[in-house]
Structure 1
Amino acid sequence: MNKHFLISALLFVVGTAFVLQDSETAVTDTTAISEQSTGSSSVSVINVTGTIGPTTTQYITRSLRKSREAEDELLIIQLDTPGGLLDSTQDIVQELLGSTHPVAVYVSPQGANAGSAGTFITLAAHIAAMAPATNIGAASPVSMGGGEMDTVAQRKIFNYSESYIESIAEQRGRNTDWAKSAVRDGASITANEALEINVIDYIAEDIDELLSTIDGLEVEGKILNTDGAEKNEIPQTLGEIFFSFLLRPEVMLILTLVAIYGIIGEVTNPGGIIPGVAGVIALILLLYGVAAMPINLAGFLLIGLAIILFVAEAFTPAFGLLITGGAVAFFLGAMMLFQDLPDEMQISMYWLIPATILTAAFFAWIVTYGVKSLFQPARSGLESTIGKTAEVTDPILPGQPGRVFFEGEYWNAESDHPLNEGDICEIVEYKGLRVTVKPLTQPQTKESSNG
């Protein structure tokens, strides 16, 4: 009863995390609308920081919908990012280019950067603005996609990225030549330079100055009334925060370890429940992350090979060679696992090296002795008495069972050889409630009396 309750509770927690983002949307929508009704005009503001990923796409898409439903003047995206995933960037750009609701991307605060993926997003907005002492550019696909590419693949990716960013800049009436150079040459410029060459539209110290500057501007056929507008911040939901944390490479590596340790622990110690449940939950969350992120398949195969080598060490007298080979395979696999991600999203050696050492130690200790114990002779129950000796109390003849005595109990016994009372026999096997024995020795006293 307690085990079933525990499993149900854990699964409920995971399921709740998956629906948090949907369950909180309606509540936040109502709050934003009620706040908006207190002023003559309002704008929605969101903060996008860090790398661009699937949860960022969901955050921006949800916020754009909420701002439109609240009838805001526009949605302001405060942006500070070193880059991110190309697929997520494309989804965000499509949302911005296809939106009839005004969107402003504001690169802030001072010192912020709209790098790589951030350049695409900024150019795709209806209004592009930057704070002083900020930067934009360095949008080459090497930074956006990560990993190494051969010459042909690199040329294809560069050509596609150049044409893609050119089409974005052209649709928004911005500098297409610089946009292409940001991809082709990795060009990066300051806010002042971006304003001079028509990469952005405005420079503003803060959001209030930006709202004052764009007041009266016509966007998508709508005259903006933003001077003094009420600012409603749309925070991330707990679900978005959770999954954003979940998709970090170091967290995915930890989930990989928990899945391995938990499942192996349950297999080697059946009935533990907790290791198995933890391992399955970690595996489900890991599969979600793998589906959302461009994980390298070769890395997964190397990790699988490492596990095989670790387990093989338990059955092969390799004197640690397989454990060493498994540790090397695990290290290379974990390093390759995230090599297709941007540099800022790749896993640090400070995580990778301890994880490798811990995994090698786990399998060297737990798996080696745990798996071996599965194949050792039974140490309890009837099977543990096979091979032990018993004393014949009633004569045993072929086809005529007798009785034997061992460990304080009498058992019906049969044998293919005749055994007399007092003989010592060896237990061979059990057939229901009858034991099969074979001759071992004869009592010395009986031999003497017969002599």
Structure 2
Amino acid sequence: MRLEIRDAIGPATSDFLSRGLEHARERNARLLVLEMDTPGGLDTATRDMVQEILSSTVPVAIYVSPSGARAASAGTYLLYASHIAAMAPATSVGAATPIQIGGGGPREPAPQNKEKETKEDKAKDDKTDENVTATEPATAAERKAINDSVAFIRGLAELRDRNADWAESAVRQAVSLTASKALEQNVIDIVATDLPDLLRQIDGRRVRTQQGVVELRTDGLIVEEFQADWRTRLLSVLTNPNVAYFLMLAGVYGLLLEGYNPGAILPGVVGAVCLLLALYAFQILSVNYAGLALMALGIALIVGEAFAPSFGVLGIGGIAAFVFGSILLFDEGVPGFQIARGLIAGVALAAGVVMLLTVGVFMRARKARVTTGVEQMLQGTAIALEDFDAKGRVDIHGEIWNAVTQAPVKKGQKLRVLRVDGLTLEVMPFN
């Protein structure tokens, strides 16, 4: 059975492998081949996948393919966990240093002072990469993460009888190897040009699974494809950082529109659903919680602008907090799990334009003439419907009102409204 992973390792990938192994067990498959090309991914998902492989009764062969593919970071751990580790020509493996969530990556190695390099030293470099200097992590948290990852990958290497020293250097020093070098240094078992070549080369090999030692009979096997179903594709879409970001925006602006137009219902419902989906996606992504807090502050300020207009002060502050939070939100060091900078810039620009338009509407509304209430009557002009010198009737805004005056009034004369007393206007002629 064959399945593919062509993206960052995440919860959707872990779920896909788990169901693929279950399907392989149900079909009594002789081998599951996982073709992989990954830049890395999340630690939790990687460990879940490793546990699935280690507990599998079906032998698992991981094949880094096609040429030009890589098994970087999380992919290195998966390759070490597999029963058969294979790579296509012109592929690479390594760079498995863990990156701390919410912070920068490990520091660069200090430059080495080499006055002279002998041929023996150079050969040693090519063979073991021992001349790459590893620096001690700066914080206890970084040391803890790196040492834990070293123990993890060394355990996998010892279990599969692969090069544990190079595995440790891949974690501590972020070194990488090509397929041919990986084969020379016992990092992988096979270099195969394609899947049929892989199946021919592993035919007759013996591997240890949960049910004991199994001899592989793979030459000429019929390969069954295991495709990702709608659930896996949907989960992959939801956990994409750019999609989760859009869901957050849709949720915020949906609730904002509901605040401006109470009772509209549709914006509030759509906003609430999108916001819940975004929060679900954030829970299973590598989140920088300082960034998430900044985004929450920005959302609160933007919503506050809707309920307590401050002519842009709250809104502009909210946009700034939201943009900075967006930049920090997803860990920079986790490959494949970053928000596109262009997307953040576009959203910030659009939000700024909307905010400026809103402030402009507020300013025009502030300067506009009053169109209702007593203030409108005081600014209006009445027309006398008859001659009178004390009490009479006038027309104002298409309505007939009783009026009193202290000066004689002629029919059709324009009158200024001085005061409104109940249903009676006090008027006087224009000079």
Under TM normalisation by the shorter chain, which class is it? 0.7 to 0.9
Superposed CA deviations along residues 258-302 of structure 1, whole A, max 9, x for unmatched, are 111111112212343432232122112212201211322222221
C-alpha change, 1:266 and 1:441, in structure 2 (3 Å) is closer
Match of 1:148 in 2: 104
Partner of 2:135: none
TM-superposed deviation, 1:215? 1.4
Please state whether the residue corresponding to 1:111 is helix, strand or coil. Answer: coil
Partner of 2:56: 99
> Which whole-Å CA distance do the structure 2 matches of 1:268 and 1:319 have between them?
15
The residue number in structure 2 matching 1:197 is 185
Query: Once structures 1 and 2 are overlaid, which stretch shifts more, 51-60 or 152-161?
Result: 152-161
**Mapped contact 1:248–1:345 kept (Cα < 8 A):** yes
Could you tell me whether the CA contact under 8 Å between 1:268 and 1:371 is conserved in 2? Answer: no
Report what 1:251 is aligned to: 243
Corresponding residue number in structure 1 for 2:284: 292
Contact 2:101 / 2:331 at 8 angstroms: preserved in 1? no
SS in 2 for 1:354: helix
Task: Give the aligned partner of residue 351 of structure 1.
Answer: 343
Q: Is the 8 A contact 1:106 1:131 kept in 2?
A: yes
Residue pair 2:403, 2:424 contacting (<8 A) in 1 also: no
Within-5 A mapping of 1:398-413:
none
CA offset digits 1:169-215 (Å, max 9, x no partner):
11111111111110001110111111112111111111111111111
Choose from 140, 144, 160 the match for 2:148.
Answer: 160
Change (3 A) 1:378 1:147: farther
Of stretches 327-336 and 302-311 in structure 1, the one that deviates more from structure 2 is 302-311
Counterpart residue identity of residue 241, structure 1: R
Which stretch shows the higher mean deviation, 335-344 or 311-320? 311-320
> Given the superposition, is the C-alpha separation of residues 112 and 250 from structure 1 closer, same or farther in structure 2, using an over 3 Å criterion?
same
- Please name the residue that 2:206 is paired with: 218
Tell me what 2:68 maps to.
111
Residue 186 of structure 1 aligns with an amino acid whose one-letter code is A
Contact 2:101 2:287 (C-alpha < 8 Å) held by counterparts: no
Match of residue 325 from structure 1 = 317
**CA distance change for structure 1 residues 70 and 326 in 2, over 3 Å: closer, same or farther?**
same
SS of the equivalent of 1:229 reads: coil
Q: State the distance in 1 between where 2:36 and 2:308 align.
A: 56
Distance in 2, matches of 1:52 and 1:443, equals 80
Aligned to 2:271: 279
Please give the residue correspondences for 1:223-238 in structure 2 after superposition, counting only pairs within 5 Å. Answer: 223-238=215-230
Q: Which amino acid aligns with 2:142?
A: Q
Alignment-derived partner of residue 162 in structure 2 = 174
What is the Cα deviation at residue 409 of structure 1?
Answer: 9.6
Aligned to 1:416: none
TM-superposed deviation, 1:354: 0.7
Q: Measured at CA, do residues 319 and 282 of structure 1 come closer, stay the same or move farther in structure 2, by a change above 3 Å?
A: closer
Q: Distance in 1 between matches of 2:9 and 2:205?
A: 29
The amino acid of 2:103's aligned partner reads G
TM-score by length of 1: 0.71
Taking the aligned partners of 1:370 and 1:241, their CA distance within structure 2 comes to: 45
- 1:57 shift after superposition: 0.2
Do the aligned partners of 1:215 and 1:226 also contact (CA within 8 Å) in 2? yes
How far apart are residue 255 of structure 1 and its match? 1.2
Aligned partners of 2:3 and 2:227 also within 8 Å: yes
Indicate which of 188, 194, 200 corresponds to 2:176. Answer: 188
Deviates most, 358-367 or 126-135 = 358-367
Label 1:121 to 1:257 Cα distance change in 2 as closer, same or farther (>3 A).
Answer: same
Q: Is 1:338 aligned to 2:294, yes or no?
A: no
- Measured after TM superposition, the shift of residue 438 of structure 1 is 4.7
Say whether the 8 Å CA contact 1:85–1:145 is kept in structure 2.
Answer: no
Contact 1:310/1:364 (<8 A) preserved: no
Whole-angstrom distance in 2 between the partners of 1:56 and 1:315: 43
RMSD: 3.5
Partner residue of 1:80 out of 29, 33, 37:
37
SS at match of 1:46: strand
Residues 311, 362 of structure 2: 8 Å contact kept: no
Change (3 A) 1:152 1:96: same
The 2-side partners of 1:406 and 1:50 are apart by 73
Aligned partners of 1:86 and 1:145 also within 8 Å: no
Contact 1:257–1:359 at 8 Å: present in 2 too? no
CA contact 1:295–1:340 (8 Å) conserved in 2: no
The alignment partner of 1:263 has SS state of helix
Change (3 A) 1:46 1:370: farther
Mapped to 2, the partners of 1:291 and 1:370 lie a distance apart of 38
Q: Is the 8 A contact 1:96 1:124 kept in 2?
A: yes
Indicate if the aligned counterparts of 1:57 and 1:88 stay in contact, CA closer than 8 A: yes
Unaligned runs of at least 5 residues, structure 1: 1-43, 391-404, 411-420, 425-436, 445-451
Question: 1:112: how far off?
Answer: 0.8
Check the 8 A contact 1:314/1:369 in 2, yes or no: no
Whole-angstrom distance in 2 between the partners of 1:211 and 1:230: 10
Map of 1:53-64 to 2, 5 A cutoff?
53-64=10-21
Distance 1:116 1:335 in 2: 23
